[in-house]
Amino acid sequence: MSKKPTTKKEVQTTGHSWDGIEELNTPLPRWWLWTFYACIVWGIAYSIAMPAWPIFASGATPGLLGSSTRANVEKEIERFSAMNKAVEDKLVATELTEIGNDPELVAYTTNAGGAVFRTWCAQCHGSGAGGNKGFPSLIDDDWLFGGTIEQIYLDVQHGIRDPLDPDTNYAAGMPAHLDDGLLESAQIDEVVQYVRQISGQDADAEMAAAGSEIFAEWCVACHGEDAKGMQDLGAPNLTDAIWLYGGDVETLTTTIRHGRAGVMPSWSYGTTEGTSRLSEVQIRAVSAYVHSLGGGE
Amino acid sequence: MSSTEPTDDAPLYEAREPIFPKRISGKFRNLKWILMALMLGIYYITPWIRWDRGPALPDQAVLLDLANRRFFFFGLEIWPHEFYFVAGLLIMAGLGLFLFTSALGRVWCGYACPQTVWTDLFILVERWVEGDRNNRIRLHRQKWNAEKIRKNLTKWTLWLLIGLATGGAWVFYFTDAPTLLGDLFTGDASPIAYTTIAVATATTFAFGGFAREQMCIYACPWPRIQAAMMDEDTITIAYREWRGEPRGKLHKGQVPEGQGDCIDCQACFNVCPMGIDIRNGQQLECITCGLCIDACDEIMDRIGKPRGLVGYMALKDEASERAGNKVVNIWKHVLRPRTLVYFTLWAGFGIALVVALFLRSPLDFNVTPNRDPLYVMQGDGTIRNIYTMRIRNKHGEEVTYRISATTPDGEADPSLTLSLEGQEGDTVTVPADQLYNQRLYLEAAPQSDLATTKRTDIDIWVEQVGGEVPVRDSVGTVFNGKE
């Protein structure tokens, strides 16, 4: 050591001076420069190893390591499918009525069935399953075809009046009484008043009395003598507070004049031969989910 | 140092100048040893403390269970929805830093920062292996030979072991420590654990062994932020220039006439872990570790001059001390409106957190009314409302809860009936340590006030069935009717 260590760092300037104000030169640390170079090298290596450079109309360079986020997602989905395999097998093997007693299956159907519902069913029945005009609520105690889990399962499986599925529920539906010449317009008005009367709404008593006879002749075959409907035929109860299309005079008149025949797709049949819209697991899961929303019988 | 022509050959980058801090003993050095032992001890021992929480919950006193989203801290268990407690602690940590910085300057940097503590430990190892400052300088300058290779390899091995212990201890905070320790040796631990250990080992090794003060000067934002929180009353380390200058060598063991107390012995510079000379004034490198004070005090004792040529002082006092006035007690600077405001805020948050913690209901649940649809019309005109309840059972065993609904006055409404999806009656049993979603139905009789009013306030009550003390709590929600 020839020279004693300097304790005071020499302050360097760049030599630039403006109005007597000098620009200090405080050099960056050299490792910082190396880090910078290392980042450049890393960047080049990364763009070779990983998908990086866009190629017109055909994605990007695949990279030497063959990494792909799409493949990663597929792998993740596969991994989760494998994790769900056991519970899904159990779901298929379990009696429909027993699903609600198994906490593991309840957890699965609540989540997976809920996902199926929100994807495929919510468009018509609403995200909360509350229904819309013409699309029944699934959370009340009034069911067109029945609210047991077996019936729900059957309806999801084969749909209502789906021409693609030979096993679909071909309930005849409400005839168009005016269009088909079954009833006169005036008779229909009387029946409307009668239906309003038995459902506890304001009605013209005289017209209703006349309507009751027409009802007994034309309507009881499907809606029953007591007008409480028949689930085998999908004929609704006319005495309760729930209306699929509406209980007001105008809507009732339209319904009786022109008829009604709502449809629901068959979920075990696809639009082409041999395919299915939903798997057996999905159909069971969504059936259990719907059954657990409060309306299930 | 000034010229008017630009000098193009000025270096843009410079190599790190190695620093060889000399061993020193003294008040601040002892304080640093104690703090180092304390902090490293806390760091290494904490994951091994056990805390009994019942059979279903982990028995590790401090555990950040990321996989299950649970944070255990002794008797406290925090779930994700209570993360505001952690946010509160972070705010307190921030305010605490403001408080300490405005009062005592960069005391965090000098004594408590992990970078400082581990660097200190690494320098200690370096000194054991290579000797004190002069030996290390000699070793650094000499050509590579067997001795240099041997000493460096020994030093690096020890550093790596410390790094490994550091990284190893870190992962124990996230899983059950004894199980993980076994798994680490048998190779059964998760790849994340090994990666974390590898990264923490590498960074400890590199930052403590080689980067050292470079982290503080170039990488760390705190010094710059802290500089903004300091003022003229802040206690910091300074050289009493008025007393030391003009500096000069001793003559025959005496300070010559007309010369200041500084004998230019370089002791303060030699011990500095940041490699600066405190006599150049305030510098951004200075972490206020106090070692230069120890070094200078020792020299002052030896030449029979009063201590404190380098010492803690507020910059404000410089002029008054220069004029010959007495040194102001540092408490007069520490206790001032600014620090008191910080302290009040800090303590306020602390009290609020503790109060919030004690006011936490032992029953943790909430109720969300279903908004799609707002109500369900049943066939007989009954109006049903659907609610989603989330009940959190934080106990180590399953608990049964009874659920009921009342008016806001706590009165039962006879027109209102309650049922639970998938449950018999009005009770639900929640397994240990689980968040349970329960669908809840309330039905108002046809034409009742509830059924015909658009919106009525109601309360949902949850009562713990069994248990020594009855626990009961309610939340307010609404019932939507058909107007």
Same domain, A272 and A156: yes
A296 within some domain = no
Same domain, A100 and A218: no
Distance from CA of B335 to the nearest CA of A (A): 35
Task: Quickly count helices (H) and strands (E) in chain B.
Answer: 17, 15
Does B7 lie at the interface with A, CB-CB under 8 angstroms?
yes
Same domain, A101 and A238: no
pLDDT for position B9:
67
Residue A229 has pLDDT above 60, yes or no: yes
Q: Which of A100, A139, A240 sits opposite B386 (nearest CB)?
A: A139
Rounded CA gap, B113 and B36, in Å?
10
A13 within some domain = no
pLDDT for position B200:
94
pLDDT for position A275:
84
Same domain, A93 and A153: yes
Q: Which residues of B touch A110 (CB under 8 A)?
A: 437
Helix (H), strand (E) at residue A253: helix A249-258
In this complex, do A140 and B378 lie within 8 Å of one another by their Cβ atoms?
yes
Task: Identify the CA nearest to B408 among candidates B481, B478, B331, B330.
Answer: B478
Residue A218 has pLDDT above 80, yes or no: yes
Same domain, A147 and A278: yes
Domain that holds residue A111: 80-168+264-291
CA distances from residue A262 to A113, A144, A242 in whole angstroms, order as listed? 24, 11, 16
Rounded CA gap, B408 and B459, in Å?
6
A24 within some domain = no
Same domain, A116 and A92: yes
Q: Which residues of A touch B446 (CB under 8 A)?
A: 241
Structure tokens at B232: 């003229």
> What is the pLDDT averaged over residues A20-45?
90
A39 within some domain = no
Residue A254 has pLDDT above 80, yes or no: yes
Q: Strand B13-14 and strand B472-480: pairing?
A: unpaired
Interface test with A, best of B138, B279, B296, B377 (most A CBs within 10 A): B377
Q: How many domains does chain A have?
A: 2
Same domain, A162 and A84: yes
pLDDT for position A2:
35
Rounded CA gap, B223 and B434, in Å?
44
Percent of chain A with pLDDT over 70: 96
Same domain, A119 and A164: yes
Task: Identify the CA nearest to A295 among candidates A242, A257, A252.
Answer: A242
**Alpha-helical runs (H) found in B105-206:** 107, 114-130, 133-141, 146-171, 177-186, 191-206
Q: Which residues of A touch B370 (CB under 8 A)?
A: 128
Task: Compute and round to an integer the Cα radius of gyration of chain A.
Answer: 35
pLDDT for position B1:
42
Q: Is B2 helix (H, G, I), strand (E, B) or coil?
A: coil
A67 within some domain = no
Same domain, A229 and A85: no
Rounded CA gap, B72 and B59, in Å?
9
Ramachandran assignment for A114, one of left (phi > 0), alpha (psi -120 to 50 degrees), beta (any other): alpha
Task: Identify the CA nearest to B383 among candidates B310, B457, B447.
Answer: B447
A65 within some domain = no
Residue B419: strand pairing partners? B441
pLDDT for position B2:
44
Peptide bond into A51 cis (omega under 30): no
- Max CA-CA distance within chain A? 127
Nearest CA in chain A to B10: A14
A194 within some domain = yes
Rounded CA gap, B466 and A81, in Å?
41
Task: Identify the CA nearest to B22 among candidates B308, B302, B291, B312.
Answer: B291
3-state DSSP of A105-134 = HHHHHHHHHHHHHHHHHHHHHCCCCCCECC
Helix (H), strand (E) at residue B474: strand B472-480
**CATH label of the domain that carries residue A231:** 1.10.760.10
A105 within some domain = yes
Q: What share of chain A is helix, strand, coil (3-state, %, to 5)?
A: 45, 10, 45
Same domain, A282 and A243: no
Helix (H), strand (E) at residue B238: strand B235-239
Same domain, A87 and A163: yes
Q: For each of the domains in chain B, give its residue range(s) and CATH number, in order of start.
A: 27-227 (no CATH), 231-328 (no CATH), 364-480 (2.60.40.10)
Model pLDDT for residues A74-102, shown as the tens digit of each residue: 999 999 999 999 999 999 999 999 999 99
Q: Which residues of B touch A33 (CB under 8 A)?
A: 13
Amino acid (1-letter code) at residue A198: I
Q: Which ranges of chain B have pLDDT less than 50?
A: 1-4
Rounded CA gap, B113 and B50, in Å?
27
Structure tokens at B334: 């520490």
Helix (H), strand (E) at residue B314: strand B310-314
Structure tokens at B196: 């974390």
Same domain, A281 and A245: no
Structure tokens at B328: 């102001």
Model pLDDT for residues A103-126, shown as the tens digit of each residue: 899 999 999 999 999 999 999 999
Q: State how far Cα B100 lies from the chain centre.
A: 14
Angle at B379 between CA B374 and CA B382, to 5 degrees: 55
pLDDT for position B369:
95
Does B42 lie at the interface with A, CB-CB under 8 angstroms?
no
pLDDT for position A1:
33
Structure tokens at A81: 């499918």
Classify burial at A92, counting beta carbons within 10 Å of its beta carbon; exposed 0-12, middle 13-18, buried 19 or more. exposed
Helix (H), strand (E) at residue B72: strand B70-73
Phi/psi at A124 (nearest 5 deg)?
-100, -45
For A124-128, the CB contacts below 8 A with 24+ separation are: A124/A264, A126/B372, A126/B373, A127/B372, A128/B370, A128/B371, A128/B372, A128/B373, A128/B386
Task: Compute and round to an integer the Cα radius of gyration of chain B.
Answer: 33
pLDDT for position A10:
61
